[in-house]
Amino acid sequence: MAAVSDTTNLSLVLELMPHGNFQDLIDRFGPLNQIDACFYYCNIVCAIGFIHRHGLVSRDIKPANFLVGHDGYLVMTDLGIAEREGEGGSWLLKGTPQYMAPELIQQGYPVGRAVDWWASGVVLYEMLTQTTVCLATLDSFRTRSRCL
């Protein structure tokens, strides 16, 4: 990764991820067998562990936020709504409804790293079944989501 700038532009140069995002892989080749699901889930666990060791909570763990590298390993992307654990930011209704932990919609309920682990479990379920646990939209999530 590198940053390049001139008088009007600031650009980030990132490693090429030629195989698209993990959601595309699941849609194209899923449901995955147990060996492949285990490999990819271990990638996700390592990524979540890394950001948690650095005090961050993603709050948006989902297949579309992992890119597939040239070697087949996953790379976490899009930490746009990540927050430092324990900071007083707004934790409510940020993320993708199908992957959100139940405590994210309960007013005043303290949340932390567990929301990323919940979402990782939903991703694992999706790898093995090609469907998500909760069939929710943001509007239905505000009232009541339909979970399997």
pLDDT tens for 47-103 read 999 999 999 999 899 999 999 999 999 999 988 888 888 765 565 567 788 898 877
What is the pLDDT confidence band of residue 106, given thresholds at 50, 70 and 90? low
Out of 60, 71, 116, 139, which one is annotated catalytic? 60
Q: Annotate 91-117 with DSSP letters as a single string.
A: -TT-S-GGG--GGGGSTT----THHHH
Ranges 30-44, 47-61, 108-122, 128-142: which has the least confidence: 128-142
Rg over alpha carbons for the chain, rounded to the nearest Å, is 16
Say if CB 96 and CB 110 are below 8 A apart: no
Provide the residue type at 23 as one letter: Q
Evaluated on CA atoms 107, 113, 119, 122, the torsion sign reads: negative
6 is catalytic: no
Chain length of the chain: 148
Please tell me the pTM assigned to this model. 0.83
Nearest Cα neighbor of 47 from 65, 34, 32, 29 is 65
Phi, psi angles (nearest 5°) of residue 53: -65, -25
Structural domains of the chain, with CATH: 17-147 (1.10.510.10)
Lowest mean pLDDT segment, chosen from 9-13, 22-26, 35-39, 69-73:
9-13
